[in-house]
Amino acid sequence: MKGALITSDLVRLLQAFFCQRLIQQRNVSHQTVCSYRDTFRLFLRFAEQQLGKSAAKMDLVDINASLVLAFLDDLESQRHNCIRSRNARLAAIRSFMHYSALLKPEALAVIQQVLAIPLKRFDRPLVKYLTQMEMQAILEAPDLLSWSGQRDQVLLATLYNSGGRVSEIIELRRANFDKNSWQAVCLHGKGRKKRVIPLWKRTTNLLKTWSAKIGLDPQQPIFPNRFGNMMSRSGVESRLRLAVSKASVQYPSLKDKVVSPHVIRHTTAMHLLQAGVDLSVIALWLGHESVATTHQYFEADLNMKEEALAKLQPPDMKFSRYKPSNDVLSFLNGL
């Protein structure tokens, strides 16, 4: 927005929202700013097509509920976004509208209509994760004869060991590790929370060997791309797909699974749970704000449920054959 010609109240409000509200007043993380930025990039491009005028000439009252609803529908139908992504975009727009209500009370009627748009409910599927043998095959898949393959092996090992989010892993620098031992990593998670995760000896050895092949600058990305810069999220996903494709030759079960960096995170949590680690420790390990979030892993482990069921004796019950009533209305009235 710097250097832009301010010609409408919408542009002024957006500039104030990002520079004053998000950055100065709330001091949100860079990831949050980027997420909100991407939302308004998509939304304003959509609005330009729908309204037939440039974003620089739009007013706040142009951002009405019907336009926002059409944008949300377009995200799902045309861009094939999931409901969670749709809700995240709506949350960014609602946050902007809450801020605009303080500065533009004369537009409160339009603002309230947008704020009344609810988040969309969605089914929560069971957590997807890999077996230990499948995970091991993926870790061994990268080509160690190439520079990128050596980086990928250390990257995937760190991702699995730490259970970190892909955004946390790609931002890792030398300064995030113990200076010489490499026995622990400090992750910067959501809400600016930091957590220190211990590393297996194998991961430590891989990091020590790999660190000798990159620069000594404390701010040097641990997992750089070919240009020496921080890898992108899509770059990590691409390299992971390559490893999964190679590992699926040994384990065909991987061909039927969609393996993403977040699935690796789920896998770490499930393996910790299966090893007997307490849920509260796993919550700290993953950086969950509430242990309730971590309960999803226990719900996904069928073996643990079967073990719990085996400890409970089934009740001794007598069964009788059901005989339907001749009067269907009496049956329906009794429901």
pLDDT in tens, 218-244: 888 999 999 889 999 899 999 999 999
In order of their start, the domains of the chain are 9-115 (1.10.150), 132-310 (1.10.443.10)
CA–CA gap between residue 314 and residue 285 (Å, rounded): 37
Give the model's pLDDT for residue 5: 44
- Which member of 188, 265, 266, 271 is catalytic? 265
Does residue 165 have an active-site annotation?
Answer: yes
DSSP 80-135: ---HHHHHHHHHHHHHHHHHHHHH-GGGHHHHHHHHTPPPPP---PPPP---HHHH
Give the model's pLDDT for residue 308: 60
Backbone region of residue 161 per phi and psi (left: phi > 0; alpha: psi in -120 to 50; beta: other values): alpha
Give the model's pLDDT for residue 88: 95
Does residue 295 have an active-site annotation?
Answer: no
Does residue 288 have an active-site annotation?
Answer: yes
Does residue 255 have an active-site annotation?
Answer: no
- Which member of 94, 128, 190, 257 is catalytic? 190
Alpha carbon 300 to its chain centroid, in Å, reads 18
Does pTM top 0.75 for this prediction?
A: no
- Which member of 99, 129, 251, 297 is catalytic? 297
279-286 and 291-300 helices cross at what angle (nearest 10)? 110
Give the model's pLDDT for residue 6: 46
- Which member of 45, 57, 213, 262 is catalytic? 262
- Whether the Cβ atoms of residue 116 and residue 98 lie closer than 8 Å to each other: no
Does residue 239 have an active-site annotation?
Answer: no
Does residue 246 have an active-site annotation?
Answer: no
Give pLDDT tens digits along the chain (335 positions): 444 444 578 999 999 999 999 999 999 888 889 899 999 999 999 999 999 999 999 999 999 999 999 999 999 999 999 998 999 999 999 999 999 999 999 999 999 999 999 999 987 777 789 999 999 999 999 999 999 999 999 999 999 999 999 999 999 999 999 877 899 999 988 767 889 999 999 999 999 999 988 878 888 899 999 988 999 989 999 999 999 999 999 999 999 899 999 999 999 999 998 888 888 899 889 988 777 777 777 666 666 666 666 666 666 666 666 666 667 667 677 77
Phi (first) and psi of residue 302, to 5 degrees: -70, -35
Backbone region of residue 80 per phi and psi (left: phi > 0; alpha: psi in -120 to 50; beta: other values): left
Residue whose tokens read 């031992």: 181
- Which member of 21, 104, 151, 165 is catalytic? 165
